[in-house]
């Protein structure tokens, strides 16, 4: 699972296709660390430079302030874009993050369901649990019926 934070956007003078060294926060934004990204966290990022863009996941390192690049899609046929030293990089949610967070379902829970310790679940009532079906919420997990 990726770490998502608000308003984290940084400049980078990195060139090439490797690990990005993060510079200062863009005007009006905060650094990854100030936004709450911890050392070793995996984030979803977008890099933009001119007309080139890249979306991926990366591991943030606070020492040296770097971000690895695992490209998911890009303007370079899905490969890492070649940075020229004037890019901006920010943390964002993608459709993949949202589709795993939002589910459309019926009003009847008809299969055994477990909400793990690292998950949140929500249903909009009324909700019926079919006969013989178990809904389990692990310690640390949350299930809310609105």
pLDDT in tens, 83-113: 999 999 999 988 777 766 556 667 888 888 8
Whether omega for the bond prior to residue 60 falls within 30 degrees of 0, making it cis, is: no
Is residue 4 predicted with pLDDT exceeding 80?
Answer: yes
> Residue 62 class from Cβ within 10 Å (0-12 exposed, 13-18 middle, 19+ buried)?
middle
Residue 38 lies in a domain: yes
Same domain, yes or no: 56 and 18: yes
pLDDT score for 61:
97
Residue 1 lies in a domain: no
pLDDT confidence bin for 115, thresholds 50/70/90: confident
Is residue 30 predicted with pLDDT exceeding 90?
Answer: yes
Residue 17 lies in a domain: yes
Count the domains in the chain.
2
Q: Give the domain range for residue 109.
A: 103-145
Q: What are residue 10's DSSP bridge partners?
A: 25, 89
Same domain, yes or no: 43 and 108: no
DSSP track, 100-111: HH-----SEE-S
Residue 4 lies in a domain: no
Same domain, yes or no: 21 and 90: yes
Residue 61 lies in a domain: yes
- Residue 89 token pair: 């990089």
Q: d(Cα 94, Cα 32) in Å, to the nearest integer?
A: 18
pLDDT score for 15:
98
Same domain, yes or no: 62 and 122: no
Same domain, yes or no: 25 and 63: yes
Same domain, yes or no: 21 and 91: yes
Same domain, yes or no: 92 and 107: no
Residue 108 lies in a domain: yes
Q: d(Cα 104, Cα 85) in Å, to the nearest integer?
A: 43
> In terms of pLDDT, which residue wins out, 119 or 34?
34
Same domain, yes or no: 64 and 120: no
Q: d(Cα 20, Cα 60) in Å, to the nearest integer?
A: 10
Same domain, yes or no: 31 and 66: yes
Same domain, yes or no: 113 and 55: no
Decide if 118 contacts 124 (C-beta within 8 A): no
pLDDT score for 126:
84
Q: d(Cα 80, Cα 41) in Å, to the nearest integer?
A: 20
């Amino acid at each position: 699972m990726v770490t998502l934070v608000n308003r984290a956007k940084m400049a980078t003078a990195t060139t090439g296709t490797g690990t990005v060294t993060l510079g200062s926060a863009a005007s009006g934004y905060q650094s990854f660390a100030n936004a709450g990204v911890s050392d070793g966290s995996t984030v979803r990022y977008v890099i933009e430079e001119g007309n080139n863009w890249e979306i991926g996941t990366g591991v943030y390192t606070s020492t040296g302030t770097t971000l690895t690049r695992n490209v998911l899609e890009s303007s370079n046929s899905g490969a890492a874009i070649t940075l020229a030293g004037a890019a901006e990089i920010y943390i964002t949610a993608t459709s993949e993050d949202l589709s795993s967070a939002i589910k459309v379902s019926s009003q009847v829970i008809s299969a055994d369901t477990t909400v793990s310790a690292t998950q949140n679940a929500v249903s909009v009532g009324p909700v019926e649990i079919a006969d013989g079906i178990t809904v389990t919420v692990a310690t640390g997990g949350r299930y809310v019926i609105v």
